[in-house]
Amino acid sequence: MDIRDFLDIPQLEKLMEDWSNATGLATIGVDANGEYFTKAINFNDFCMKYTRGSEEGAKRCQKCDAECTGTYFCHAGLMDFSRDIIVNGQKVGAVIGGQVLPEEPDDDKFRKIAKELGVPEDSYLEALHRVPVRSEESIKAAAQLLGDVVNMMVNSNYQQQNDVKKIEKMDADIEQAASLIREINEKSLQLDKIESKQNILSLNASIEAARAGEFGRGFAVVAAEVGKLAVNSGEINKSIKLSLKELTGTIKELESLK
């Protein structure tokens, strides 16, 4: 299941932007394969330029994205989060992000990380001190809130799409049924003509049998059977027309529900 097939992504991005502006946390959406499907929201240079922007940092970030869940400390020492998006019991993606500090940073610790990543230490620290500081409790609460709201929105979009598909399927079925009714009606008219011809044939055969007298007895039997066939055909045809009338009424009721 591809989340892009049913999700209103601009609507989701607007929700994520509002949440990010309110909490100070960055976020982005990833699909079930780990590919980004929304724009990156409020990520700063510390993460994007100096961490993910370095070869070693990108490897470490990708490992965190793939393996970490819940609220956790990333390899660079920031608090990040990952909240699964579940539809019908199946994981279709996640909202990840964070990029905040739970306390004021230890410069010596981050100088060491800068060396490991191969990025300028002073620039790394300068970007680090622009990272928001939030309590661990507030980070966890904000991440939980975003995960819950995103799941409600995604599942709502999925249900809406399913409802549209069901209506489209019903429309197609109604049209197919209506087409079948038209076809049966045409064949019923043909049966009317056959019934009429059978009645005329039976009448003519009876007249000829009467004229033939003794020699027409066998012919009279045939004429009687043709007459019976005409009657039976007529009764069947009436039954078909009655069923068609009821079915047509049902189709109209279904069309009125659209």
| CATH 1.10.287.950 domain extents, the chain | 167-256
Nearest to 94 by CA among 148, 186, 31, 38: 31
| CATH 3.30.450 domain extents, the chain | 3-164
Look at residue 252 in the predicted model and tell me its pLDDT.
66
Look at residue 246 in the predicted model and tell me its pLDDT.
66
Contact predicate 147/220, CB 8 Å? no
Look at residue 232 in the predicted model and tell me its pLDDT.
56
Strands 90-100 and 70-73: unpaired
In order along its 258 residues, the chain shows pLDDT tens digits of: 899 999 999 999 999 999 999 998 999 999 998 889 999 999 988 988 899 889 999 998 888 877 888 899 888 888 999 999 999 999 999 999 998 998 899 999 999 999 999 999 999 999 999 999 988 888 999 999 999 999 999 999 998 888 777 667 766 766 776 676 677 667 666 666 655 655 555 555 565 556 655 554 555 555 555 556 555 566 665 666 666 666 666 666 656 655
Residue with structure tokens 């109604």? Answer: 174
Look at residue 120 in the predicted model and tell me its pLDDT.
93
Look at residue 52 in the predicted model and tell me its pLDDT.
86
Overall fold of domain 3-164:
Beta-Lactamase (3.30.450)
Q: How far is residue 65's CA from residue 28's CA, in Å, rounded to a whole number?
A: 11
Domain 167-256 sits in CATH at 1.10.287.950
Q: How far is residue 30's CA from residue 49's CA, in Å, rounded to a whole number?
A: 20
Look at residue 75 in the predicted model and tell me its pLDDT.
85
Look at residue 81 in the predicted model and tell me its pLDDT.
93
Look at residue 163 in the predicted model and tell me its pLDDT.
75
For helices 121-128 and 107-117, give the axis angle rounded to 10 degrees. Answer: 130
Which residues are registered as beta bridge partners of 97? 27, 81
Global pTM reads 0.63
